[in-house]
Amino acid sequence: MTDKKVKKADIVAVANAAKVSASTVSRAFNHPDLVNPATRKRINRAVEKLGYIRNRAAQAIHGRRNATIGLIVPTINHAIFAEVIQSFSDAIDEAGFTLLIASHGYSLEREYDMIRKLMEHRVDGIALVGLEHSEATFRLLRQQEMPCIAIWNYSGTSDMPCVGADNREAGRLAARHLLQAGHRDIGLIFPSIEGNDRARQRLEGAMEEIRTHGVEVRDAWRQESPYSITLAKQAVRGMLDSDQRPTALVCGNDVIAQGAIFGVQSRGLSVPGDVSVIGIGDFNGSLDMEPGLTTVRIPAEDIGKVAGQRLTGLILSETREMFRYRCDLNCIVRGTTRPLT
Amino acid sequence: MTDKKVKKADIVAVANAAKVSASTVSRAFNHPDLVNPATRKRINRAVEKLGYIRNRAAQAIHGRRNATIGLIVPTINHAIFAEVIQSFSDAIDEAGFTLLIASHGYSLEREYDMIRKLMEHRVDGIALVGLEHSEATFRLLRQQEMPCIAIWNYSGTSDMPCVGADNREAGRLAARHLLQAGHRDIGLIFPSIEGNDRARQRLEGAMEEIRTHGVEVRDAWRQESPYSITLAKQAVRGMLDSDQRPTALVCGNDVIAQGAIFGVQSRGLSVPGDVSVIGIGDFNGSLDMEPGLTTVRIPAEDIGKVAGQRLTGLILSETREMFRYRCDLNCIVRGTTRPLT
DNA sequence: GCATTTTATGAAAACATTTGCATTACTATT
DNA sequence: AATAGTAATGCAAATGTTTTCATAAAATGC
């Protein structure tokens, strides 16, 4: 009676208060149809009164599901991932799951650690960004038979189920748009491709398309820049200061494109008058820029939603079936590119 | 031996493989100093070989900590929250915690549900955005004695520990900057203040400051707009189309400011030539706009980091001490405002 | 070489819950 | 009224780990 160490209510406390056994309380939660409505009511009242909160941990111990899904992203602080995280979160929430999230800052080493961490929490499934992961990661996922899905990237021959876009195609589309507009002096600004298959494939796709058109890209016109407006701005300036400057730029994503545009403008040149710029992604906000950014749209919201639905489906159905979902890409022409006259 | 139903390795499997008891294995994890280095090595080899992964759920059942912290945000898909989530995540990761995240889409009802959900997962602590929450939420947190912290908002008289900025002050600073620059015809674009104490206080602060200067704000110059570039753009257009237009705009945050700028430009007017615009937040990217956005900087990264450190500290120390951390605000003058000559 | 302390380990209880099996009390069928 | 079937509930075992207590072995002090 001393409220010194007032123990938190557990299931037996509820059971006592409702004058039933713990089993019945448990059943009232997990198989409500098996318990008498009147009893159920009594139990609910007791729960209410005692402020009882179920313990998922104690459920998980019984091999039951945990109702958590782990998502590992390179970084949360990035428009495009934020968007995909949000729609993924909403989709799994719909199915009653909670999101356990971790970020690794573009290190596949750390990604592995994060996966282990999520597994210690006995998540019911894991979603990763991209299809490129360390050998240890693949081994671990296989060995633990963890339902998993790769988002953001599509490949017809992936080991994991995936929901995403064909990034090589995205790169191709971006380059093609410029080439078809008559551009031949094309610069490229992409992030480091280290541990980032999305960037690598986009770059490869773009280069491929350019070469197919018999066009060469000068070394000076290939710049590396992280996903940062400031740094992209700097990177593009270097390119413009050489005596020869490109008439068009393919950018690794919309953030880089944004930076590139500012870089061009800060040199007193105009977009698209002097330099056309195309991005990849179609981030929230790219539409609203002035001029609107021409870009290859990757439907982040779709990807998150479909991935969430598929992964929860996989978990609930207890199957491990393979599936690959490729979302459509299209080049959205707005105001930052123009045909070379 | 039939590998039909290969049971996942548990602690006793490891114990057997290492020829020790389960207790020793457990100790090897939790109190390594208590077990012989040689034995520890044997155990580690067994863990490695069997691919054993510890079960946090089974630990949590012992009242031990879970090493998870719950964070509930209105939305993930928002530059500013993404930034704060990232730094919060990094800070708690540093202390060995994992982030369980949920979003409620600006509904305090749903926020309550999410808190319950996190509690079912026996998170060790909870961080919420803002200081305005439902009565049920406060009751629940108090009753469960959950370590918690409010981020993003500071108040000297808050019930919860908090780490954030004084949003009223932020509003005041923004307005003051314009007033000191000689503006008297000032428009305001803020989101709905429903369940959003940050926005409400900013608006109140701004209005307060304006009135203090003996200036009135016309009704037509007070527009509501969500945190969306497109919608803010529309909202500001309405304001500009009336025969009288303001010479300066205070915007609820940087996203709205961005939209406002585009809106002004799309009417053939110039920023800051015809209309000065000030935002609040200093998002990633506001620096890099052309012209750079004048704004009241709220150090999101700081807030996330400090909040993460304080909350983990609270949990680890097992105390419930109150603290309130107010971060500095300053008005960063860039290119979108100018003195009225 | 004995008593004492320290170090390393194991056995068993505890944790909060679920679940298979058993039991009881009804209801329906003949 | 006897039987079979069903609905509602309880008992007890099981889950994977931690922790307390006990014990054995080794190290230390004299």
pLDDT at position B64 = 85
Based on the domain organization, do A290 and A319 belong to the same domain? no
Nucleotides of C under 7 A from a protein CB: 7-12, 14-20
Question: What are the structure tokens assigned to B145, written together?
Answer: 């004695």
pLDDT at position B288 = 81
What tens-digit pLDDT sequence spans chain A (341 residues)?
A: 333 345 688 999 999 999 999 999 999 999 999 999 999 999 999 999 999 999 999 998 888 888 999 999 999 988 889 999 999 999 999 999 999 999 999 999 999 999 999 999 999 999 999 999 999 999 999 999 999 999 999 999 999 999 999 999 999 999 999 999 999 999 999 999 998 999 999 999 999 999 999 999 999 999 999 998 889 999 999 899 878 899 999 999 999 999 999 999 989 999 999 999 999 999 988 888 878 999 999 999 999 999 999 999 999 998 889 999 999 999 999 999 999 98
pLDDT at position B341 = 80
Question: What are the structure tokens assigned to A201, written together?
Answer: 């494939």
Among A51, A128, A177, A110, smallest CA distance to A311 is for A128
* Cβ-based neighbour number of residue A324 at 10 Å: 15
Domain contains B96: yes
Based on the domain organization, do A289 and A178 belong to the same domain? yes
CB B120 within 8 A of CB A54: yes
pLDDT tens-digit map of B207-235? 999 999 999 999 999 999 998 888 999 99
| A2/A228 Cα distance (integer angstroms) | 59
**B98 Cβ partners below 8 Å, 6+ apart?**
A100, A102, A117, A118, A121, B67, B68, B69, B92
The minimum CA-CA distance between B288 and chain A, rounded to whole Å, is: 6
Based on the domain organization, do B277 and B315 belong to the same domain? no
Which chain B residues in 25-44 sit with Cβ < 7 A of strand C?
Answer: 27, 34-36, 38-39
Smallest Cβ–Cβ distance between A61 and the set B58, B90, B265 belongs to B58
Give me the half-sphere count of Cα atoms (radius 13 Å) on the Cβ side of residue B50: 22
Based on the domain organization, do B229 and B161 belong to the same domain? no
Domain contains B222: yes
3-state secondary structure A165-214: ECHHHHHHHHHHHHHHCCCCCEEEEECCCCCCHHHHHHHHHHHHHHHHCC
Residue nearest to nucleotide C16 (CA to C1'): A58
Residue A58 beta carbon within 7 A of nucleic strand C: yes
Based on the domain organization, do A158 and A211 belong to the same domain? no
Domain contains B35: yes
Question: What are the structure tokens assigned to A47, written together?
Answer: 């729960």
Average pLDDT for B234-252: 92
SS3 at position A88: helix
Start-to-end CA span in chain A (Å): 88
CB B89 within 8 A of CB A75: no
Distance in angstroms, CA of A187 to C1' of D10? 76
Residue-number span of the structural domain to which B102 is assigned? 68-165+300-328
Higher pLDDT, B277 or A79: B277
* CB contacts, 8 Å: A8 with chain B: 144
* CB contacts, 8 Å: B262 with chain A: 288-290
Residue B85 above 70 pLDDT?
yes
pLDDT tens-digit map of B285-335? 888 887 899 999 999 999 999 999 999 999 999 888 999 999 999 999 999
CATH no. for residue B105? 3.40.50.2300
* CB contacts, 8 Å: A117 with chain B: 98
Amino acid at B217: V
Which chain A residues in 33-52 sit with Cβ < 7 A of strand D?
Answer: 34-39
The minimum CA-CA distance between A89 and chain B, rounded to whole Å, is: 7
Based on the domain organization, do B223 and B106 belong to the same domain? no
pLDDT at position A292 = 92
Based on the domain organization, do A31 and A11 belong to the same domain? yes
B57-69 core/surface letters (b: 16 or more CB in 10 A; e: else) = bbbbeeeebbbbb
- Asked if A57 and B66 come within 8 Å (Cβ–Cβ), the reply is yes
Residue A10 beta carbon within 7 A of nucleic strand C: yes
The strands making up A276-281's β-sheet, listed across from edge to edge, are A222-224, A186-190, A248-251, A276-281, A294-297, A330-332
| A111/A125 Cα distance (integer angstroms) | 15
CATH no. for residue B10? 1.10.260.40
The minimum CA-CA distance between B121 and chain A, rounded to whole Å, is: 5
Question: What are the structure tokens assigned to B76, written together?
Answer: 């993930």
* CB contacts, 8 Å: A11 with chain B: none
pLDDT at position A7 = 67
Domain contains A61: no
Residue position matching structure tokens 């909670």? A98
3-state helix, strand, coil in chain B (%, to 5): 45, 15, 40
Residue B163 above 80 pLDDT?
yes
CB A281 within 8 A of CB A341: no
How many structural domains are present in chain B? 3
Based on the domain organization, do A226 and A287 belong to the same domain? yes
Based on the domain organization, do B83 and B99 belong to the same domain? yes
Ramachandran area for residue B220 (φ above 0: left; ψ -120 to 50: alpha; else beta):
alpha
Task: Tell me B95's DSSP state.
Answer: T
pLDDT at position B66 = 87
Domain contains A335: no
Residue A23 beta carbon within 7 A of nucleic strand C: yes
Residue B11 beta carbon within 7 A of nucleic strand D: yes
| A113/A107 Cα distance (integer angstroms) | 10
The number of residues making up chain A comes to 341
The strands making up B248-251's β-sheet, listed across from edge to edge, are B222-224, B186-190, B248-251, B276-281, B294-297, B330-332
| A83/A85 Cα distance (integer angstroms) | 5
Based on the domain organization, do B106 and B178 belong to the same domain? no
The strands making up A148-153's β-sheet, listed across from edge to edge, are A324-326, A162-165, A148-153, A125-129, A68-73, A98-103, B98-103, B68-73, B125-129, B148-153, B162-165, B324-326
Parallel/antiparallel/unpaired status of strands A186-190 and A162-165: unpaired
User: What CA dihedral angle connects B203, B205, B211 and B217, to 10 degrees?
Assistant: -10
Based on the domain organization, do B46 and B153 belong to the same domain? no
Domain contains A213: yes
CB B29 within 8 A of CB B20: no
Based on the domain organization, do A175 and A273 belong to the same domain? yes
Domain contains B340: no
pLDDT at position B3 = 36
Among B124, B125, B142, smallest CA distance to B133 is for B142
Domain contains B61: no
pLDDT at position B6 = 57
* CB contacts, 8 Å: A57 with chain B: 56-58, 60-61, 66, 121-122
SS3 at position A16: helix
Q: How many A×B Cβ pairs under 8 Å?
A: 145
Burial class (CB in 10 A: 0-12, 13-18, 19+), B324: middle
The minimum CA-CA distance between A256 and chain B, rounded to whole Å, is: 11
Task: Tell me A151's DSSP state.
Answer: E
pLDDT at position A6 = 56
